[in-house]
Each structure stands twice: as structure tokens, then as C-alpha cells.
Amino acid sequence: MHVPVEWLRDYVDFDLEAEDVAKELTAIGLAVESIEDHHLAGPVLEIDVTANRSDCYGVLGLARELAAAIGKEFKMPDLALEESSSKAGDLFTIEVVDADLCPRYTARIVEGVTDCPSPEWMQKRLEGAGLRPISAIVDVTNYVMLEFCQPLHAFDLELLKDKIIVRRAADKEKMTLLDETKLEMNRDNLVIADASGPVALAGVMGGLESEIRPSTSTVLIESAQFERVNVRRTARRNGKSTDSSFRFERGVDPIGVELASRRAAGLIASITGGKVAAGLIDVWATEWNAPQVSMRFARCDKLLGLVIDPDESVKILTGLGLELVERDGEKATFAVPPWREDLTREVDLIEEVVRIHGYHKVPEALTLKIAAAGRNPLYEFKRDCRKMMNSLGYDEAMTDSFVDARGAGKFGFWSGGGPLNVDNPLSSFHNALRDSLIPNLLAAKKNNQDAGADSVSLFEAANVYLRDAAGELDERPVLAMVDDRSFFTSKGSFFTVKGSVEALCDRLGISDVRYFYEENPRDFAHGRFLQLQIGEDTVLGCIGEVSKDIVAAYDLKAAPAVAEIALDVLLSARKTDTALQKIPRFPAVKRDVALIVDGQTKWSVIKMLAKEKRGKYAVDDVKFVSVFEGEPIPAGKKSVALSVLYRADDRTLTDDEVNTVHDEFTAKLAGALSADIRGA
């Protein structure tokens, strides 16, 4: 809301410079964003009016606020009206058909008008407020709209046929607005119509046909109250947000409707030489009664943590236009003026008192008692996971929640439904919610590749959005990573990522992780995908190297590996038993064996057989040491080395004892695998 400082002087006596006026208004809640020195209007304040103060979109409302802030009296403009012998009621008829959408409709008529430019003082103020002066009649309606926060409309009476009817439009009824837009309306739109059809879109904009012309000599001034939700909908659906609809949406003062009408009629008459016909045509469905609200003084003090003298509270509230109805030692009751619809409860009055009293006077008085913060296991767990990922060399990324549903990469692993659609996306590239973090991590990898990064290891711990089995919307916290580091040169990054996931599980004390090799969703490279589970039936997540199609779709230089695991599952599986495990008293002895097996033999098979065949004193699982192919190992075969730990509970084992058991074990294992023992 732009207001020239000079305009405020009509209603409040003050001696302040623009900067000080700005400070006063900001201190009571009307934040002044800027002060512009307008070439015509002088200093103009740009005020950020909050959504609850519809009255502050009018200069009178702002002047009242300033008066309250600086403790001065507020003066209304002179509304005395000289009326002619002509009776407005004889000249025209108003019929309101849909009173639910138009609680009050008033009209005043000014005859013998000769339109002309509006006076300089008015033009300056309009310019300063950001409106363009046109000619007196229209300028007055704009001026009074700004002054009273009451939108008005002026009709050329001679162009109106028979009478005004305030009604809903018929389905598909058409009209042309004064900005030449052609509209097709429906029953949700309220129109001002005459006998031949719509002449204005109520509360929004006038029609082209009844516009004020240079030859207009009889003006009908409309000042009305239109139902705000309907004005808002109508304005939005037709894409017409105007100064008028803006104010109706926020609610106008039902009493101010008449005052603004009087003001406008008086100004038009005095500027254009017209005569105001006597009387107000007024169709008013309901009578307005001032609501009453009470405020308890003790409650005010208690809420604020500050003692305010009740006399001051009463003075502040009456200074804002509330009328004291009654008062005793404990509370005061006020009648709320019609322009302050936002004051309906005691707490609203308390806010008025404290903001005028001064927020800077609110003491800093800590009353919160000392208490320890509670725990939030999932939040703390996410924090721990981030640190663990950092120590494995990953940086945290934060990617968009949106994806393109048509885009490359169906990595949705948690539910079959595909990404959820967004009804009103900002663009077609962001038309769905991600059901996996992987696509956007791949995009982040691509960005970094383009920037010349050698190596990209990123993780993200965030929510994915799903439809669960019952079709209900669900979100899950997951941890995903993308990695292109390679430690086995020709085998890509698969083992890097697998190692990261294993390190996490190991660090969290999760022992029952199982791998499934069966599924091979098309977005992963053939044979390079693993599904992970905890125990029998709890899905943990997946690991895989992306397919060539994905590499091409994202324009990557090489195929990175990715993983995505469910944080809630990981948290539940984490070892929490902290009782000390007995530390073995006697030392363990390590023995290795290298077996030359068929090249297709899987480690999981070797491990399983080793577990079966292991001998006495063997403790823990066998450990993978290394794999070797090439000379001198025969073609089609590989050498797999593993180590075994032996330990007794009651003594230190001798070399001979261990050798005997180990040799027996290696022989059995080699036999089961049809393998040779290397170096034997």
C-alpha cells in the first residue's frame, strides 16, 4: 500500500518527517518497506499491510493507526452533503436478487455533471498512491476507494436501462469489461445488471457499455458490500485481480459503505458542478450491530508477562476507535467499530494493547523451567548415519523432491505404483514426487561431471513418497548413495558401494543381512544388482550398478553404482543390547588357505561350504582375503584365498593342534568344491 505522507496530514496533526512516520508505523506493526520521494506527491511510504488489517488498505485506516501511535486525535473528513430537491429514489430503482452475495447495496445520484480533470491536489495523491488520474468522476471513485478502503463504481445513469438488478449471472451469460475483455460467466458470478444485461462484474470491474464518457451528465455512484469469498473466486477464475476485488476479498466496512458514498457524491458535485439528488438508495439485508468484546486486565498482564495500567489499556483501545461499553476493576467491555472485523476475541484486544503500548517494553523474562530435551531416535539416527557416510568419504547432497514421471530411471523399489503425481506442478519436468532418491542423485552426478569433477561420491538421507499397498499415501526415510570410485579396476564401483553398505551394517551391529540375487530390474546392469534383507522377510534395500541405458539417458561417462536402504529398517535392526560380551581369555590363531576353483564359483557358496566343513575350535565366519585370476592360475579358474580363526576357551592352542584341524578342514572344503589347494 503506497501512501503519500502529506495525505495523512488531512486526518492527523503531526510534525514528523517521513522517516519518523515510518518508524512509528513500523513499531506498531505496519512495516514500512521503503520511502520514495515522488516527483509530484512528495515522500510516499510503501507499507506492508498484514492480511488481517483490511482497513489499512485505506488512508483513513493508516491515519487512525498513526494517530494511535503518536497519541494524537484522528479527524474524519467533512462528510456534510448539500442535496438538491431531486429525490434519488424517484430517479432510479435498485433491485437486489441475490442478497447473500450482496449484503448491502447503496446508490447516490449526481445530476448536471460536466466531467473535467480532477484538481491538482487529488491528482498528486492518486499518482503518489500508484494510480493514474483520468478525469474527475473516475478519479473521485478511486480517491475515495483509497481513502475509505471502499471500492466504488460510477455509472452513466443514462446508459442504464430501467433499473439496476444485482443478481447471479446466468449460465454462459456474456459481457465485455471496460478493459475490453470478453467474459463468459456462470451462476457463481455476481453481476450488476440493468434490464438489458450485465453492466459490471460485481466487486471486480465495470462493463464497457455503461462506462463514464465525456458527455456523461448524470452519475450513479455505487457503494456496496459484496460477499468476499465470491468476489475472490470470481476475480481468480476470470484472471482479474483489481484494486477493487483486492479490498472486497479482505472485507469492507458495512457502515463505511454509506460514508464513502456521501464523500464521493460531495466531491463529484463540488468538482464537476453537479447537484446531489437527495437521499440514499439503500438495499440492506441485515442491520449491523457492533459486536462486543471484553478484556480482563489480569489476563492481559498474564499473557504478556508485563503489567499494563488498565487506564492505559482503555485509552489505547478507545484511541483505536473502540467504544467503551462498561468497565469494572477486572475487565472492560468494548463495542468494536465496523472497520475492525479482525477484533473478535479477548486475545485480539490484548494484541492491540501491547502493540500500541510498545513491543520494546515487553520484558525479557524467562519462565521456561529447566528440563532435559527428550530423545528422538530416528532424528539422532539420521545424524549418526550422515557422519558414518562422511567417514566413508561421501558428501551429503540435497536434491529436489520432484521428478519427471516420464523421465529415465524407474528406480522405485519400495512400492510398485510409480511416482505420485503433483496436481499443480510448476513445470512438466517436476510433475511427480520421487519414489526413489536415485534419479536425482544421478542428475547431481551428471552436473558434477559437467563441472569437471574427477570423482563423485554423494549420499542423501531424505524422504521418498509412495503409495502403500492399500493405496494410501506414505513417505519413508531412506538413505541413498551414488559412487563412481573403483578399487577393483575392471569391476567398476559395485563393490565400493557394497562395501559402504556392509561397513554401515557392521558398524551398527546388524548381523543378519541377507542378499538376494534373483531380481534384475531393467535399470540396473545385468548381473550387478542385489536386494538386501534383514532376516527372513524385512526388505532393507538394494545395491546395483546402473545399466547402459541409464548411463546414456543421463549422459554419464561411466556407470556408477548406487544403493538405497530404508532408514527405519536400519534403525530397527541396529544392535541395542549394550551388555558387555565376555572377552576371550585365550588368543586366537589365524590360518589362511587359497583354493583354485572354477571361475564361475561364487564366494557365497565357498563361504557356506566353509561353514559346514569347519572344524573344532573354528570361531566366527571365514573371511574373504583375495581373489586372483591369470598366470600362473589356469585359464577358466581363479584362486580364492580365505582365512579362518581358531581359538579354544580353556587354553592356548598349539601350532600342531591348529594345523591338524585346519588341514582337515581345507581338505574337506577343497573336496566339496572340487578345488585344488594352492601351494600344496
Binders in 348-367 for another protein, by CB under 8 A: 348, 350-351, 354-355, 359-360, 362-367
Name the segment binding another protein (CB under 8 A); options: 197-205, 217-225, 454-462, 555-563. 454-462
**Residue 153 CB coordination number (10 Å):** 25
Binding flag, residue 108, another protein (CB under 8 A): no
When asked if residue 22 is in the footprint of another protein (CB under 8 A), the reply is no
Residue 584 touching another protein (CB under 8 A) = no
Beta carbon of residue 367, minimum distance to another protein (angstroms, whole number): 4
Nine-digit cell string for 221? 455512484
- Candidates 188, 396, 612, 649; binder of another protein (CB under 8 A) is 396
* Cα of 73 vs its chain's centroid, Å: 42
- Note whether 50 binds another protein by CB under 8 A: yes
Q: What is the 3-state secondary structure (H, E, C) of 16-27?
A: CCHHHHHHHHHH
Q: How many residues does the chain have?
A: 680
**Distance separating alpha carbons of residues 68 and 49, to the nearest angstrom:** 17
Please select the residue that binds another protein; options are 88, 260, 420, 594, rule is CB under 8 A.
420
Residues 130-169 within binding reach of another protein (CB under 8 A): none
Q: How far is the CB of 158 from another protein (least distance, A)?
A: 37
Please give the torsion angle defined by the CA atoms of residues 594, 599, 604 and 607, in that order, rounded to the nearest 10 degrees: -20
Which range binds another protein by CB under 8 A, 164-172, 302-310, 332-340, 526-534? 302-310
SS3 label, residue 160: coil
User: Which range of residues in 78-86, 97-105, 420-428, 587-595 is near another protein by CB under 8 A?
Assistant: 420-428
CB of 302 to another protein, least distance (A): 7
Q: Which of 76, 79, 298, 378 binds another protein (CB under 8 A)?
A: 378
DSSP letters spanning 544-607: EEEPHHHHHHTT-SS--EEEEEEHHHHHHHS----SPPPPPSS--EEEEEEEEEETT--HHHHH
Rounded CA gap, 352 and 317, in Å? 7
Nearest approach, Cβ of residue 516 and another protein (Å): 29
268 vs 466 by CB, closer to another protein:
466
Tell me which residue has cell 436501462. Answer: 161
Helices 136-148 and 120-128 pack at an angle, to 10 degrees, of 50
Q: Please, which residue, 378 or 619, has the CB nearer to another protein?
A: 378
Q: Does 182 bind another protein (CB under 8 A)?
A: no
Nearer to another protein by Cβ, of 448 and 538: the residue is: 448
Q: In what order do the strands lie in the sheet with 164-168?
A: 94-96, 164-168, 190-194, 197-201, 205-206
Contact window for another protein (CB under 8 A) among 76-84, 214-222, 322-330, 386-394 = 386-394
Q: Which long-range contacts (CB under 8 A, 24 or more apart) does 73-81 make?
A: 73/12, 73/13, 74/11, 74/12, 74/321, 75/10, 75/11, 75/12, 76/11, 77/10, 77/11, 77/147, 77/263, 79/259, 79/262, 79/263, 79/266, 80/266, 81/262, 81/265, 81/266, 81/276
Question: What number of chain residues touch another protein (CB under 8 A)?
Answer: 85
Containing 278, the helix (H) or strand (E) segment is strand 275-278
**Contact pattern from residue 257 through residue 296 relative to another protein, giving x for each residue in contact according to CB under 8 A and a dash for the rest:** ----------------------------------------
610 binds another protein (CB under 8 A): no
Is 426 a binder of another protein (CB under 8 A)? Answer: yes
- The yes or no reply on residue 304 touching another protein (CB under 8 A) is yes
| Residue of 38, 47, 53, 594 that binds another protein (CB under 8 A) | 53
Please pick, from the candidates 16, 170, 306, 645, the single residue that binds another protein as defined by CB under 8 A. Answer: 306
Q: Interface with another protein includes 447 (CB under 8 A)?
A: yes
Task: Output phi, psi for 192, to 5 deg.
Answer: -95, 120
